[in-house]
Structure 1
């Protein structure tokens, strides 16, 4: 069962940014080795959230530009299909994500997207409503450092897509351990606070 906690005023979505992690072809197209089988259902909820957060939506993209002399070199050896230029269509936003007309799109060569680009937009201790893919990789790698830095995080469990259902649920359970900095909510709960 997905853990949920009550969303309180500290996580008020009217003051928050919607952060959608990596809505890219490589994670959404079912022909990709990294496609999430949960993407379609998560995307339906992300679209609902994006409508409510109009003007306060940030999309991220993971791009394959990490230094290959680091452990990233071994990573890309293990996943050669992904070792293509950042301009490859695999790394494009999905057409649906591009159509959102988000206020900001951030590219990072790391799983986690918490960093100077994001804080330049949101401030150092923002309220973030987080959705995206993959719950058990880029989402968790963003949420935990953001919370550690003092951000208020509402993680929208049904607007996240894991590599599979089990990994998704395990990642939600881990992030749920970081309450009250990380609160897990459903799309309907977030929209009811807006």
Structure 2
């Protein structure tokens, strides 16, 4: 089933999303910390219905699937110090189960990039997919790590297709707002 997309149209059902030639799939932060609102205050209420869609995409993109992970780094300083004052539960080591990739995706992942920032358009991701690649984007949270990856990537010359049905926001309203914001960057960012 498709969902409403920014501008009142319908998003493309994930079953109809096919990899383009040389296109990667980048799945943003499919981790325990974001998967269950009962486990973590960062858990997305949209995750349960989104996870099977991400797994379907990962199967379609086999060999070209990058999963990113967020891990806390209180040593970043600046505004991150205030951030971790508010979210002290997240100050656990990288190997803590809170930061584990969800089991449903672990076996479908070809590359893992771990970063201590919201946006994942970093040297680590570019080392895998290139400086100006084509990539489909899925994951969590649409209104945080997904949008903060899509926009800098597009600004650097990447072609980004955001698979709306394979993204989970912190709420449905925030998810829709983030999709709307990203839709303003067409044709570099396309909302499917």
Q: Partners of 2:51 and 2:27 in 1: how far apart?
A: 10
Q: The residue matched to 2:73 in structure 1 has which SS? A: coil
Distance 1:172 1:81, change over 3 A: same
1:126 deviates by 0.1
Find out whether 1:152 has 2:156 as its counterpart: no
2:64 aligned residue (35, 56, 61): 56
Which has the larger displacement, 83-92 or 130-139? 83-92
Cα pair distance change 1:163/1:14, threshold 3 Å:
same
| Partner Cα distance (2:100, 2:11) in 1 | 35
Residue 189 (structure 2) aligns with: 182
**Runs of 5+ consecutive residues of structure 2 not aligned to the other structure:** 13-17
Whether the aligned pair in 1 keeps the contact of 2:74 and 2:91 (CA below 8 Å) is no
Distance 1:91 1:14 in 2: 32
Per the alignment, residue 110 of structure 1 pairs with 117
Unaligned runs of 5+ in 1: 186-194
Q: How do 1:25-174 and structure 2 match up within 5 A?
A: 25-31=32-38, 32-100=40-108, 102-174=109-181
SS in 2 for 1:180: coil
Q: Aligned equivalents of 2:33 and 2:129: distance in 1?
A: 27
Q: Which secondary structure state, in structure 1, belongs to the residue aligned with residue 178 of structure 2?
A: helix
Alignment deviations for residues 103-161 of structure 1 (CA, whole Å, 9 cap, x no partner): 10000010000011111111110001000000000000000000000000000000000
Q: Which deviates further from its counterpart, 85-94 or 123-132?
A: 85-94
